[in-house]
Amino acid sequence: MTEASPRQMLDAATGAAQRARAQRHYRAAPFVLLGVVEMLVVVQPYLWRRIADIDVLPGLIPTLAVMVLVVAGVYGGSRPSTPRHGRAAFGITAGVTAAIVALTVTVGETALPDSAAWWIAGAVLSGVPMVALGAFVRNRSAVGDDGRARS
C-alpha cells in the first residue's frame, strides 16, 4: 500500500458520503397528510355517537390508529437513511401524538362524550405534531449539511 492510497480512499469515501447526503430529500406532504388523518380519526367517536347513534367500541379506531402511528414512528426513525436529528424528531412526534390521542379519547369517552368542543380541540391538537414534523422535514430538506440552501 502506498502513501497516497489511504488519502485517495478517504477522498473517495468523503465524495460518496456527500453524494448520498445530496440525494437525501424528504417530502413534507406525507406528514401533513398523516396529521389530517389523525384529526379525522380522533373526532370519529364523537361523530359516531352524534350522527349514527352508535356506542359500540368507539375508541377502538383511535386506539388502532395510535398503534399504527407508533409503529410508523419507530420504523421511520430506524431507517438508515434518516438524518441524525430526524430520528429523535420521529420518536418524539409519535410519542406526543399518541399521548394526545390517548388523553383525548380516554377523557372524551369517560367524562365528556357529548362535548363537541373537547373532541374538536383534541382532534386539532393531535394533528399539530405531525404538521410540525412536516415543517421540520421541509426545512431540513431545503438546507444542506453545509448550511446552504439546496438548489
In whole angstroms, give the CA distance from residue 81 to residue 62: 30
Question: In this structure, is residue 9 part of a structural domain?
Answer: no
Residue 147 confidence (pLDDT): 53
Q: Are 100 and 39 in contact (CB under 8 A)?
A: no
User: Which cell numbers in the block locate residue 11?
Assistant: 477522498
Residue 67 confidence (pLDDT): 75
Question: In this structure, is residue 41 part of a structural domain?
Answer: yes
**Domains in the chain: how many in total?**
1
In whole angstroms, give the CA distance from residue 45 to residue 73: 24
Question: In this structure, is residue 92 part of a structural domain?
Answer: yes
Model pTM score: 0.68
Question: In this structure, is residue 70 part of a structural domain?
Answer: yes
| Structural domain harbouring 36 | 26-142
Question: In this structure, is residue 76 part of a structural domain?
Answer: yes
User: Which cell numbers in the block locate residue 142?
Assistant: 431545503
Closest CA to 96 of 120, 64, 131: 131
Give start and end residues of each alpha helix (H) in the chain: 4-23, 29-47, 60-77, 84-110, 116-142
Residue pLDDT tens, the chain, 151 long: 556 687 777 777 777 767 666 655 566 777 788 888 888 888 888 887 777 777 666 667 777 777 777 777 677 666 665 666 667 777 788 888 888 988 988 888 888 888 889 999 999 998 898 888 888 877 766 555 555 555 4
In whole angstroms, give the CA distance from residue 7 to residue 33: 46
Question: In this structure, is residue 5 part of a structural domain?
Answer: no
Question: In this structure, is residue 149 part of a structural domain?
Answer: no
Coil, strand, or helix at residue 81? coil
Cell 488519502 belongs to: 7
Question: In this structure, is residue 33 part of a structural domain?
Answer: yes
